[in-house]
Amino acid sequence: MSYIQGETGDWEVVIGLEVHAQVISNAKLFSGSATEFGAAPNSQVSFVDAAFPGMLPVINEYCVEQAVRTGLGLKAEINLHSVFDRKNYFYADLPQGYQISQFLQPIVGKGEIVLDLPDGTSRTVGVTRLHLEQDAGKSLHDQHPSKTYIDLNRSGVALMEIVSEPDMRSSEEAGAYVRKLRSILRYLGTCDGNMEEGSMRCDVNVSVRKPGDAFGTRCEIKNVNSIRFVMQAIEYEARRQIEIIEEGGKIDQETRLWDTTKFVTRSMRSKEEAHDYRYFPDPDLLPLELDAAWVEDIKKTLPELPDDKKARFIEDYKLSVYDAGVLVSEKSKADYFEAVAKGRDPKLASNWVTGELFGYLNKAGKEIEESPVSAGNLGGLIDLIADNTISGRIAKEVFETMFETGEKAADIVEKKGLRQVTDTSAIEGSIDAVMAANADKVAEFRGGKDKLFGFFVGQVMKATQGKANPAMVNEILMKKLKG
């Protein structure tokens, strides 16, 4: 169990997350307006989105399907009967004066997410619910010295709010939860998980308590837009609350913001309760009634999800739990690996993908979709190692060139003359030359100084510019040294 050390002993942090995930859909939740990111301000706004008098919402069936698909992917209950409610509050970027959401009867009920933690253990976090709601517009405070500009392009865009149980006990677990949820959504194709563009945002609920005590008073940190910030906000907020309590104060239930420049949480407003929003069923929308057979049809179209894929990689490819976890963390990584591994040694393929490729991509700040080395070309490199055309050491040199130029491995090997020497007489000639030049060390080796064997291997590889087949060098050299 992860505890935070305070002046008065151990404290436990209790964390629950509300993740707002933008539904992948070409149209908004209750209108036909486009949802593309980056369009000119107020260019994707219908009369419904702008709340013109008399405009009525019409549900987008595809958004409902995406929510059901997500619920199934979270192993959650799908509620065949759900209700849309009005959540009433005033803000300049909310034209209706209310948000259409779901309160008492959401479309998706209890589910779960299995976290893969850095130490190799797993932990299950409960999902309380998933409900559909419309997004608000965006207030731009930095466009004019004294005015706030409003962009309603986002107004009415479909969101899934996915609420966890307060099951997490550290910032690491919260980070693992967001990563795993984002991975599942991307596998399902229901949200792109792009936190930089705002298509996935987190409200982080944090409280502290002495181990074994009842839950403490929680504070909610709104609209955190990166996994790193989620973890930093939790660390800071837990410490802040512990200090207040240990100094004799009490925690006010409130909404706070994460300041990304000062790395502190700041008070935003006292926390609202449900009654502050005066929820009531939206009179313009009938209850949402789903057909069980329709839900079953969606279930049949679900892709293989990360946990199932991980189990298959361990079973079929005999990969370690860690390597399988790394490879399935993103669908694009898993697909790339499977393309490389097809018809080849899967362990070797895994080592090259997770080692060399991911290392170079990280250094270059690139995603796997931007890799200059295609899966086919990396497979070609592995084939050259397998058929002894090149050694593993030369392969690393070839890979570096492949990453820089995008060329095929075979072309680089031919162009640079890197083909491995497997001609026994050529290797024997190099070994004889090395032994003749180091007669004193040959005598020492034969006198029992076995450690010198590595020296001789190095000299032979140097003489052959690294091109000699290492296994053949070892075998022939040992025979010759032993006389």
Q: How far apart are CA 29 and CA 14, in angstroms?
A: 33
pLDDT exceeds 90 at position 93:
yes
- Same domain? For 358 and 464 the reply is no
Domain boundary among 370, 400, 416: 416
- Same domain? For 343 and 376 the reply is yes
- Same domain? For 397 and 474 the reply is no
| CATH number, position 432 | 1.10.10
pLDDT, position 420: 66
pLDDT, position 227: 95
- Same domain? For 83 and 195 the reply is yes
pLDDT, position 469: 75
pLDDT band at 481 (very low <50, low <70, confident <90, very high): confident
pLDDT, position 456: 81
Domain boundary among 362, 396, 416: 416
- Same domain? For 188 and 42 the reply is yes
Domain boundary among 270, 296, 322: 296
pLDDT digits (tens, 9 = 90+) for 318-327: 999 999 999 9
Number of domains in the chain: 3
pLDDT exceeds 90 at position 99:
yes
pLDDT digits (tens, 9 = 90+) for 371-412: 999 999 999 999 998 888 888 888 998 999 999 999 999 999
- Same domain? For 431 and 326 the reply is no
Higher pLDDT, 465 or 228: 228
List the domain range (segments joined by +) for residue 473: 424-482
- Same domain? For 107 and 245 the reply is yes
- Same domain? For 87 and 136 the reply is yes
- Same domain? For 437 and 357 the reply is no
Strands 254-259 and 219-224 come out as parallel
- Same domain? For 384 and 265 the reply is no
- Same domain? For 131 and 254 the reply is yes
- Same domain? For 245 and 118 the reply is yes
